Amino acid sequence: MRRIALLGATGSIGKQAIAVVDAAPDLELCALASGSSDLGKLAESHGVEHVQTGGDLTELLERAEPDVVLNAVVGFAGIGATLWALERGITLALANKESLVAAGDLALAARERGGGLLLPVDSEHSAVFQCLERSARESVESIVLTASGGPFRGRSREELADVTVEDALAHPTWNMGPKITVDSATLANKGLELIEAHVLFGLHYDRLEVVVQPSSIVHGLVRFRDGAALAHLGYPDMQVPISWALTYPARAATDLPQLDLASGLTLEFAAPDLETFPLLALARRAGELGGTHPCVYNAANETAVAAFLEGRLPFLGIADVVEAALDGADGAPARDLDELVEADAEARRLAEQGMPVA
Ligand SMILES: NC(=O)c1ccc[n+]([C@@H]2O[C@H](COP(=O)([O-])OP(=O)(O)OC[C@H]3O[C@@H](n4cnc5c(N)ncnc54)[C@H](OP(=O)(O)O)[C@@H]3O)[C@@H](O)[C@H]2O)c1
């Protein structure tokens, strides 16, 4: 029996993870965490002893002693759990991309010391991980992350000036939590994923591509030096990468539908519109600069998205706030978690300063 600590149990990924665990006889939940939602009923119905709402997630993990940590917390709040699992060599199934973006160097060092598995749950990185398996590193030419393009694909900047929170939350292919849905609309999600891919797969940014694939059927590709490209396809359903990570390397059976190819499935691809959606290029810049610039990008984006959701910032203001924070931060590398937390806090201050006065 594999014992899973599910952090972010009440969220979009968390609920889908519970469905995966319920359907898999070899998996059981040993711990549940949320930010503020009550977990009483869920813990009771699943017989989970270790439960925590808010607070330091590593205390819960110490008590529960899981075999796998599924980190599905949203935002920088997931960082302690990511580092805890990596440091101890406990398998980390990672949905919380923000922790890897903000703490890439610390996470890689912790994984080196811990020696455990870091399995991406993000569908694109799960796809790329699977395409890369059993391939020699030097045979890889580049990695391609696919993007749906979000609800505003094809629109001009002018057309985005007055979009509402409701418009931004209407994602065409994925049903996700509010923060990542707004990130998908601005393409910051793909920016975070670009940095996540750099950390996970160790390729330089000039070998990481992003391409728009509106139906979200192709989740990721790897190009090889012999001219071949391997792709990972499937209907957009997060239960697939969640199940893959929780049952790795077994690839357990699911009830999810197989691709219906004969019904006339067509796949379209296009270049992303970097001018209308500047947060993708800003992420590349932050990643290439290195140090704590990715942490600043993430912190400023979290702050700006929260302000947008609260109605304090227009949609186009999100990128302006992130750019101003990146310009204002020194981006010096963090030697430990304390320094990273400081860089994160400073970036949030810079982001608040960049907000329009009400
Ligand atoms: N949704 C997707 O399809 C998808 C796909 C790929 C990657 N991801 C990534 O997965 C993560 C979760 O996304 P989501 O869409 O599931 O978000 P979500 O629906 O907003 O859920 C977030 C979860 O995190 C919990 N949480 C928030 N702050 C916390 C804290 N300080 N301590 C413990 N738990 C906390 C929330 O608890 P409360 O209910 O108490 O607020 C909730 O359970 C994000 O990093 C996202 O980028 C999501």
Picking from 11-20, 184-193, 239-248, 255-264, which range would have the lowest pLDDT averaged per residue?
A: 255-264
Q: Does the pLDDT of residue 171 top 90, yes or no?
A: no
Q: Is 12 a member of any domain?
A: yes
Three-class SS state of 284: helix
Question: 152 alpha carbon to ligand 1 midpoint, in Å?
Answer: 23
Is 55 inside a domain boundary? yes
pLDDT above 90 as % of the chain: 97
Distance (Å) from CA 5 to ligand 1 centroid = 14
Probe target for ligand 1 pocket from 6, 7, 12, with the most ligand atoms within 8 Å of CB? 12
pLDDT of residue 51: 98
Domain CATH for 341? 1.10.1740.10
The reply to whether 231 falls in a domain is no
CA of 58 to the centre of ligand 1 (A): 17
User: What is the tally of structural domains in the chain?
Assistant: 2
> What's the pLDDT score for residue 358?
72
Domain assignment present for residue 258? The answer is no
Residue 218 within any structural domain of the chain: no
Mean pLDDT of 44-61: 97
Pocket, ligand 1, Cβ cutoff 6 A: 7-14, 33-37, 54, 57, 72-74, 77, 95-98, 122, 174, 176-177, 179-180, 238
CATH of the domain at 74: 3.40.50.720
What pLDDT, on a 0 to 100 scale, did the predictor assign at position 173? Answer: 87
Tell me, yes or no, whether 136 lies in a domain. no
Position 154 in a domain: no
Q: Does 24 score more than 90 pLDDT?
A: yes
3-state secondary structure of 267: coil
For the record, the structure tokens of 168 come out as: 């931004």
Q: 195-220: b or e for each residue (b if 16 or more CB lie within 10 Å)? A: bbbbbbbebebeebbbbbbbebbbbb
Q: Dump the DSSP string for 316-356.
A: THHHHHHHHHHHH---PPPSSHHHHHHHHHHHHHHHHHTSP
What's the pLDDT at 163?
Answer: 96
213 in a domain, yes or no?
A: no
**Among residues 62, 91, 121, which one ends one of the domains?**
121
**Residue 172's pLDDT is what?**
87
Residue 82's pLDDT is: 98
Among 121, 145, 175, the domain boundary falls at 121
**What is this structure's pTM?**
0.98
Distance CA 277, CA 318 (A): 10
Task: Answer with the one of 121, 142, 175 that is the final residue of a domain.
Answer: 121
Q: What domain range is 358 assigned to? A: 290-358
- Name 10's Cβ contacts closer than 8 Å, sequence gap at least 6: 34, 37, 39, 42
Identify the band that residue 306 occupies on the pLDDT scale cut at 50, 70 and 90. very high
Q: Is the pLDDT of residue 330 over 90?
A: yes
Computed over every residue of the chain, the mean pLDDT equals: 97
